[in-house]
Structure 1
Amino acid sequence: MREILGRRRRLRFRRKARTARQEAAVTFAVGWDWPVLPGVGLAEPAGTAESPGRGGLWTRPRTGRAERPGPGGATRTGGDGPVCACPDPGCVVPGAHPFDPGLLAATTDERMIRWWWTRRPDAPVLLATGGRAPCAVSLPAPAGAHALRDLDAMGMRLGPVVATPTRWSILVAPYGLERLGELLYAKDSVPSSLRFHGEGGYLLLPPSTAGTGQVRWERAPLAGSARPWLPDVEAVVDALVAASTATPGGGSRLAY
């Protein structure tokens, strides 16, 4: 009986999480005019999916290593960590990228978004950055915490900040590549662990889950705001460069 009750609780939690992803995607797209699309997501462990094997998903046998039949019936092994649902067994960002549909399909159309997440309720929510949508600057989590402390000490107003266990992303107002290039050219050096998510890029938004773990708001958008306010990239980039340089492991290591 205890096992049955535990299973029911897990199923209720899973349904609630699925509903939360769809509603979050609708809020981003319809409420805030941010174009979104579903990410590829993670493969489900064998025996836990409601319909195991549907859609060509990877499965994880009892050995703990992910396998999927390849050409000619050969088996490809994906290692002991989380396995991406894309065909690449060596995917370095498992679950956290577009696949089908591609990035150009990102939309603010509510009907399309509800259709996507009805078919794929576990899919992460991806923001297509740039254009009319926010851009972002991301850095390793320890450096991100350092940068936020410095920006708070300066009295800097920040918008939303997205966090995973490995990286934090500060959302900023849209910028162009030419403007960003001029800004970075003026710096003596820019740590290679900094990433700039501009036109043609994408970013995972809460409440998604990917290979690095749960995506959450470190700084959530203000409740009731029509559209989150965003700082200009010039206002924050100096602090992000300084924090990445000063934080151990935050400078040259490219942590996903």
Structure 2
Amino acid sequence: MREILGRRRRLRFRRKARAARQDAAVTFAVEWDWPVLPGVGLEEPAPTTKSSGRTGLKTKSGARRAERSGGGDATERSGGAPELSGNAERSGGEGGPVCACPDPGCVVPGAHPFDPGLLAATTDERMIRWWWTRRPDAPIVLATGGRAPCAVSLPALAGARALRALDGMGMRLGPVVATPTRWSILVAPYDLERLGELLYAKDSVPSSLRFHGEGGYLLVPPSTAGTGQVRWERAPLTGSARPWLPDVEAVVDALVEASTAAPGGGSRLAY
């Protein structure tokens, strides 16, 4: 009886999470005019029995491709201990979720567009509801630039330092997206020429800083990627017609300084 109740609770939680993703995607697109699309997402690796009697791992999409091609498991070896596929290794071990894309070397598992591609991002409510009805677990990808926000992202530790510094200066901030490894500060749209002028004036810019501008994308809450849950560190104000965004000039100095002061001098590009 306890097991049945636990299963029911998990199903209710999953249905609630799926509804929250679709509602959030509709809010971004329809109320805020931010083009979005579903990300590739994650999947569980499918176990497969090898001809030698050992059991390895490969993704479900990989298994389907192997079946279509008539081939066996690409991770099979002639001897030694069983090996894991590249996706299983990235997930941290056997059984962990992996990227649903076909790239075994994907460096941003679950956190990027795939099918449809980024150019499909839209504000059309019917399209968005159709996408998330078909793929209710898909993460939400924001197409940055244009009429949507841009963003500057940096490692989580540096991000926390930057927010403290900006708060200490009395700087007004908009939404901030956080994952276990990176924080992203949403800013007003900027073009590459304007960004280039800002960065040219700096003595140096840490390579761990990432700029999400025109033609870029950013995973937004509530979503899940290979690095974990995507959440709001600073959530948009409830009931706001459209979130307020600072100019990139207002925050870039604090972000560069916080990244430079991070362990390793901000040179480590953590995904």
Give the root-mean-square deviation of aligned CA atoms. 1.5
SS at match of 1:100: coil
Q: State the distance in 2 between where 1:3 and 1:21 align.
A: 27
Query: Within the alignment, does 1:217 sit opposite 2:232 as a pair?
Result: yes
Please tell me the residue identity of whatever aligns with 1:66. K
| 8 Å contact from structure 1 (residues 143, 250) kept in 2 | no
Structure 2 SS opposite 1:248:
coil
**Counterparts in 2 of 1:109 and 1:79: CA distance versus 1, 3 Å:** same
- Residue pair 1:139, 1:250 contacting (<8 A) in 2 also: no
User: Is the alpha carbon distance of 1:160 and 1:228 closer, same or farther for their aligned partners in structure 2, counting shifts above 3 Å?
Assistant: same
Gaps of 5+ in 1: 46-57
**How does 1:22-41 map onto structure 2 within 5 Å?**
22-41=22-41
Going from structure 1 to structure 2, the CA distance change for 1:101 and 1:250 (only over 3 Å counts) comes to farther
Alignment of 1:42-121 (within 5 A): 42-43=42-43, 45=44, 59=46, 65-67=57-59, 68-69=62-63, 70=66, 71-76=69-74, 77=85, 78-80=87-89, 81=91, 82-121=97-136
Q: Structure 1 251/209 Cα, relative in aligned 2: closer, same or farther at 3 Å? A: same
Aligned residue number for residue 82 of structure 2? none
Partner of 1:5: 5
* Number of positions where the alignment pairs a residue of Structure 1 with one of Structure 2: 243
What is the TM-score when the length of structure 1 is the normalising length?
A: 0.91
- How far apart, in 2, do the equivalents of 1:8 and 1:105 lie? 36
Residue type matched to 2:88 in 1? G
Query: Shift of residue 249 of structure 1?
Result: 4.4
Distance 1:214 1:61, change over 3 A: farther
Shift of 1:89: 1.4
On the 8 A contact 1:243/1:250 being kept in 2, the answer is: no
Q: Please tell me the residue identity of whatever aligns with 1:73.
A: G
Separation in structure 2 between the aligned mates of residue 6 and residue 196 of structure 1, nearest angstrom:
43
Aligned counterpart in structure 1 of residue 167 of structure 2, from 146, 152, 161: 152
In structure 2, runs of 5+ residues without a counterpart are: 50-54, 75-84, 92-96
Q: In 2 relative to 1, CA 61–218 (structure 1 residues): closer, same or farther, beyond 3 Å?
A: farther
Larger Rg: 2
Equivalent position of 2:21 in the other structure? 21
Q: In the TM superposition, what is the alpha-carbon distance from 1:60 to its structure 2 partner? A: 5.2
